Amino acid sequence: MFDSAVPGLKAKRIQVFICCFMQYAMLHSCRSTWSFTSGLLAKQDDHEHDDEKIDDFDKKYLGYVNFSFLFVYGSSMLFLGQIGDRIGPKLFMLCGTFSTGIIQFMIAALLPVEKHNRWLLLVLQILNGISQAPAWPGLMAIMNNWQSKPNKMIVMGYFAACTNVGNILGDLFAALLIEQLGMSVMAPIYVSSIGVLIMSIINIYMIEASSAKEYIAQFKNPLTKSLVYKQAHDEYMSRAASVVSVSEQSYLTDLSQTLLTVDRDSQMNPHVPPKPKKNKKDSINMISAWKLPNVALYAFAFGCIKAVFYILAFWLPSYLKGENLEGVAWITQMIEWGTIPGGILICYAGVHWNLRASLIVPSLWIGTVVMVSINFLSKLEQPYALYYILVFLTGLLIGGVYNNVSGAIVIELSNMKELKGNKKSTATVTSVVMGYGAVFAAINQLIVPYLESILFLYCSLNAIVAGCFLIPLIINEYRRYREQNLQVGDAQ
């Protein structure tokens, strides 16, 4: 997966992978620790933490706070990418991670002191959204510039687990510090913020600002001045594997969307010579993008799936607490343990069979049955084992879909005849789909407080609707799969 004929490059790739993985995992742990802590603070009938609660901090106010964070986070990711292009991906990423660690620490330190100031938390979470936005595109640009083209899809499939590992770490912090040791509800936030700052300091020295292309270029024949490893260097000079800018990554807000960096035509038809270059097409604007075939359907589908993911991420601990369950942090973890293998399995299937939507839609609908079942577990006595199993299956089916659906949509968009060979327009349409998804997920944070008793039923409704909107994706995918088989048969 990281192999290379160039001396030392394999070690460099592994080093970059581990450092980027742990950096984003620690950053994501800040979200899961906040999810657990905010659920405790917003629970009105729980008097265990009354001395730490903030005035008028109810679930409706929590919905406004989560909405503000997600909306600002998504908006900032789109607009801050150009700054990253100017200062470089490493510095851009570190600015975001350092500021995130500081703001998270401020949230934990100031909220117990300023209990009567409702606006303080709102302002801090808005700043938190801005601070976290540079981390993702910066890390993605670094990863793309070091990983090889042939193995990039597999590497990114494994890398997709960093968000889930981060959530697991956050749940572990909460379980150990609050549920086991009885410490302050702010203790996990302190730990996660310090973890982000420590990883940021480590990555100042461990992540290099250069790229694999520049590293390979160091190996030159002293007599001829030509590259010793020219074949390896050409891999990074190709169109699909050249150095990636931060602003390009800002359009692709999920790990699996980095599949765009791989030339799909060369994968599907490895023996077909490259097509001659065509004249550049005019780019399209945001309004025209909505008029393209199926773009609105894909946007609505992605919005529903992203809404389900963030509803579970922010509200699952609060829902389980409302069911008067013990060991909530351990149950919450199961969704992450399911998402990791679910995401990797769909990624592998997509790489080997080029069939993503055909797996995504059935997974969504089966996951719907699982979520509906969870909603009725409260009627059973001591249903702890069922909670662990069904929450795990929700992660396996719904979480695995979330880690891959964006890649399936982006690949479909890049194959549209209206966008073929037009990279700038593809990025515009992609930003429309992903931008709508972020906004819809944020708006749902305002709806959930009114529907928390039927949380999983509402998530199930979103999953069903998303699957219906993705049916055209299955049809187009099947057509391409059949055409590919026909081409292979003709070649033989």
78-96 pLDDT tens trace = 777 667 767 888 898 999 9
Q: Which amino acid is at 80?
A: L
CB atoms within 10 A of CB 152: 21
Q: Is the pLDDT of residue 434 over 80?
A: no
Helix 295-322 to helix 9-42 angle (10° resolution) is: 60
Q: Is the pLDDT of residue 404 over 80?
A: no
- Considering only 125-129, 238-242, 411-415, 425-429, which range has the smallest mean pLDDT? 238-242
Which of 358, 360, 317, 347 lies closest to 335, judged by CA? 317
Query: Residue 28's pLDDT is what?
Result: 92
Query: Residue 270's pLDDT is what?
Result: 44
CB atoms within 10 A of CB 272: 11
User: What band does 308 get if pLDDT is binned at 50, 70 and 90?
Assistant: very high
Tokens 């593809």, located at residue: 426
Mean pLDDT on 406-425: 65
Residue bearing the bigger pLDDT, 487 or 297: 297
Q: Is the pLDDT of residue 305 over 60?
A: yes
Mean pLDDT on 4-22: 85
Contact 250, 137 (CB under 8 A): yes
- Percentage helix, strand, coil, to 5, in the chain? 75, 0, 25
Angstrom CA distances, 489 to 98, 291, 484, stand at 55, 36, 9
Contact 160, 152 (CB under 8 A): no
pTM value is 0.78
User: What band does 197 get if pLDDT is binned at 50, 70 and 90?
Assistant: very high
Query: Residue 259's pLDDT is what?
Result: 38
Top-confidence range, 70-74, 142-146, 168-172, 401-405: 168-172
Q: What is the mean pLDDT of the chain?
A: 78
Query: Residue 234's pLDDT is what?
Result: 57
* Separation CA 262–CA 102 (nearest Å): 36
Report angle CA 154, 437, 361 to the nearest 5 degrees. Answer: 60
- Considering only 193-207, 294-308, 398-412, which range has the smallest mean pLDDT? 398-412
Query: Residue 193's pLDDT is what?
Result: 95
Residues 6 or more apart whose CB falls under 8 angstroms from that of 308 comprise 398, 402, 459, 462, 463, 466
User: What band does 344 get if pLDDT is binned at 50, 70 and 90?
Assistant: confident
Q: Is the pLDDT of residue 369 over 80?
A: yes
pLDDT over 90 for what percent of the chain? 22
Q: Is the pLDDT of residue 120 over 50?
A: yes
Mean pLDDT on 128-148: 84
Element (H, E) at 482: helix 471-491
Mean pLDDT on 17-30: 93
Span 150-165, pLDDT tens digits: 666 677 767 878 888 9
Tokens 């659920």, located at residue: 39
Q: Which two tokens stand for residue 346?
A: 């769909």
Query: Residue 262's pLDDT is what?
Result: 34
Mean pLDDT on 164-191: 90
Angstrom CA distances, 325 to 194, 280, 328, 331, stand at 30, 59, 6, 9
Contact 312, 394 (CB under 8 A): yes
Query: Residue 266's pLDDT is what?
Result: 39
DSSP per-residue codes, 26-95: HHHHHHHHHHHHHHHHH-TT--TTGGGPPTT--HHHHHHHHHHHHHHHHHHHHHSHHHHHHH-HHHHHHH
Mean pLDDT on 33-54: 72
Mean pLDDT on 120-140: 88
Q: Return the SS3 of 367.
A: helix
Q: Is the pLDDT of residue 244 over 70?
A: no
* Separation CA 358–CA 265 (nearest Å): 20
* Separation CA 381–CA 336 (nearest Å): 25
* Separation CA 193–CA 176 (nearest Å): 16
Query: Residue 272's pLDDT is what?
Result: 46
* Separation CA 482–CA 478 (nearest Å): 6
Q: Return the SS3 of 227.
A: strand
Q: Is the pLDDT of residue 14 over 70?
A: yes
Residue bearing the bigger pLDDT, 458 or 248: 458
Query: Residue 80's pLDDT is what?
Result: 75
